[in-house]
Amino acid sequence: MSLESRMRWRQVSRRARRLISEERSIVVLLVAAAVAMGVAAVAFPGSWPLTSLLIPLTVGSVLLGPRLLPWFVIIVLLVLTLAITQQPAMTARIAAGTVVIFLIGLIIMLASFRRTSLGVGGMRGESMLVDLRDRILRQARLPALPPEWYAESALRSASGSPFAGDLVLAARRGQRVDFVVADVSGKGEEAGTRALLLSGAFAGLLSEIPSEEFLPAANRYLVRQEWLEGFATCIHLAVDLDSGDFEVRAAGHPPAIQVHAGSGRRSTHEPEGPFLGLIEEAEFEPVRGNLGAGDAVLLYTDGMVESAERDLSSGVDRLAGAAERMLAEGFQYGAGRLVDALGSPDDDRALVLVHRR
């Protein structure tokens, strides 16, 4: 094992020991609080309710991991049982409170068993997931471009949460910049975990391999995952920032839209390619074009153009028309405006706008 690996292992070990020590301190405090509340319920049966035990029980469900939480629940229920035996009389109020506490304890214990696969408590597990999401999304930030170029992205989920089945990636190498918009099968949080995984993997591929190899490599990666819903659509735009020449490759994705400033017309670029994850040795042929001064290209997911009220072709026409109208007012913040105005609230939607000023 190298010196660097040993140092990392020591850091991980120290952090794990610190977390275990913190959790033990928390459980000691919570057990003390539960015992104190049980004693108070025995000493002052008319004024101190047994249901006060719900306070440490609830706090424990949030702070403790699945290793200690079931034992803490058992301790609280034992304290409750002992406190009940010392009550002067078993009233309907005490009986109802006891049933409620036992039910909540059972629910918390079942939830802790479900957390076992993650191995961390509620708040810590949530913070880890949010941190993972933020780290991966930071990889998707659009790179800085020369002053004559403008790029913007917008992403919304069907559920309104930060986790969506659509993803946006970008990478710049010298005077060449790549933009990727992908749509993982499913919607909202249902597809969010798969999109997080693909975002990290695709970002690594996009920054390390030639543009023409990105979709084949992404397809092979997705095939190896062997997911039950293991497919995704994707569109990839590679732009030369000096000449404005570009290549578009797609995998079962809606076409790219180009708005031509000089003529005022619009065109679609629809390269052929199968969905990612279905065919192991798939081929993705490019469509080539050029972005002149004032032109813009839109990449988007089907949530922008397809809904129960309209089909894909009419949705593409609607989006292209809205992009044409932006020629006069400017494309600044145009991606967000288009997503909010035209996107279907029942579907995840993502859009990337690339404009040559």
Asked if the structure places residue 226 within a domain, the reply is yes
**Same domain membership, residue 238 and residue 175:** yes
Q: How many alpha carbons fall within 13 Å on the CB side of residue 192?
A: 20
**Same domain membership, residue 95 and residue 175:** no
Q: Where are the beta strands (DSSP E) in the chain?
A: 149-156, 166-173, 176-184, 232-240, 245-251, 256-259, 266-269, 287-290, 296-300, 349-356
Q: What is the DSSP secondary-structure string of 128-165?
A: HHHHHHHHHHHHTSPPP--TTEEEEEEEE-TTSSS--S
The residue range of the domain holding 95 is: 3-120
76, 92, 120 - which closes a domain: 120
120, 154, 189 - which closes a domain: 120
**Same domain membership, residue 291 and residue 249:** yes
Instruction: List the chain pLDDT tens, one digit each, 357 residues.
Output: 454 445 555 554 555 455 556 778 888 899 999 999 999 988 998 789 888 999 999 898 888 877 788 889 999 999 999 999 888 888 888 888 889 999 999 988 887 776 665 555 555 566 666 666 666 566 667 999 999 999 999 988 876 666 677 889 999 999 999 999 999 886 655 667 778 788 888 988 998 999 999 999 999 999 998 877 668 999 999 999 999 999 999 999 999 999 999 777 899 999 999 999 999 889 999 999 999 999 999 999 999 998 767 778 888 999 999 999 888 788 888 999 999 998 888 888 899 999 998
The DSSP 8-state label assigned to residue 276 in this structure reads: B
Asked if the structure places residue 208 within a domain, the reply is yes
Domain count, the chain: 2
**Same domain membership, residue 351 and residue 215:** yes
**Same domain membership, residue 39 and residue 157:** no
Asked if the structure places residue 135 within a domain, the reply is no
- Residue 9 has a CB neighbour count (10 Å cut-off) of 11
**Same domain membership, residue 79 and residue 42:** yes
Query: Strand, helix or coil at 186?
Result: coil
Asked if the structure places residue 126 within a domain, the reply is no
**Same domain membership, residue 101 and residue 184:** no
* Torsion sign (Cα): 131, 224, 349, 284: positive
Asked if the structure places residue 133 within a domain, the reply is no
**Same domain membership, residue 212 and residue 72:** no
Asked if the structure places residue 131 within a domain, the reply is no
Q: How many alpha carbons fall within 13 Å on the CB side of residue 37?
A: 22
| CA 255 – CA 234 distance, rounded (Å) | 10
